A and B are shown apart, each in its own frame.
Chain A
Amino acid sequence: QSALTQPASVSGSPGQSITISCTGSSSDVGGYNLVSWYQHHPGKAPKLIIYEVTKRPSGVSDRFSGSKSGNTASLTISGLQAEDEADYHCCSHAGSFTYVFGTGTKVTVL
């Protein structure tokens, strides 16, 4: 069970859109529509922003959207804001009721 691959860092200017990829295999990302994304500000608890690939929990901004193609899931943040600067982690069901997280991506707002 290897960690899902995410870019180490992604940056963008306020108002821009950025996309974070999360690449796994047919045993995890590609095999289940159970990919979730967490936003994590240092020192705080991670916050769920996307679940089941595309769904947003109540209260999460619609600037966050998720998608999946094959073994790669993606998180898009549109209208980038200063408060979006954080670490982002993807997670996927990996069969046999187990889960695997991604390597994490640091988003910087320029």
Chain B
Amino acid sequence: QVQLQESGPGLVKPSETLSLTCDVSGGSVSRYYWSWIRQSPGKGLEWIGYIYDGGSTNYNPSLKSRVTMSVDTSKNQFSLKLTSVTAADTAVYYCARGAPGYSSGYWGQGTLVTISS
């Protein structure tokens, strides 16, 4: 059974960089797409983007200038960096295998990141 676990600071200061990692167990990070999705308090889900293990990426146009995703096959994990964060970036961040709608996808339980000084 594939399991995903997000990790990273739960509190980030405004203007700084949010960094999260998703550890993949029970399967390989290779040859799949890996997504990040978030949910701000009281709002719907928001697709942040995805990366393929070869390094190709696609990002939400509204976040593209601030987002970087990467894959580390040696650690079987993938990562998200979001720069210049504001309070609007406060959200539960989820990592997932596959693009949205992928029938064999798996999701992590999510991690809350609060942007505050």
Q: In the assembly, what is the distance between CA of A89 and CA of B43, in Å?
A: 11
Q: In the assembly, what is the distance between CA of A100 and CA of B58, in Å?
A: 13
In the assembled complex, the CB of B63 is this many whole angstroms from the nearest CB of chain A, namely 10
Count of A-B contacts judged by CB separation below 8 Å: 67
Asked if A97 meets B43 with Cβ closer than 8 Å, knowing A45-B108, A51-B101, A91-B100, the reply is no
The interface of chain A, by Cβ under 8 A from chain B, is 1, 3, 6, 34-36, 38, 40, 44-48, 51-52, 55, 57, 89, 91, 93, 96-104
Q: A36-B100, A40-B45 are known; give 18 further A-B pairs, CB within 8 A.
A: A35-B101, A36-B101, A38-B45, A45-B108, A46-B45, A51-B101, A51-B103, A52-B101, A55-B103, A57-B104, A89-B45, A91-B100, A98-B59, A99-B99, A101-B47, A101-B100, A102-B44, A103-B43
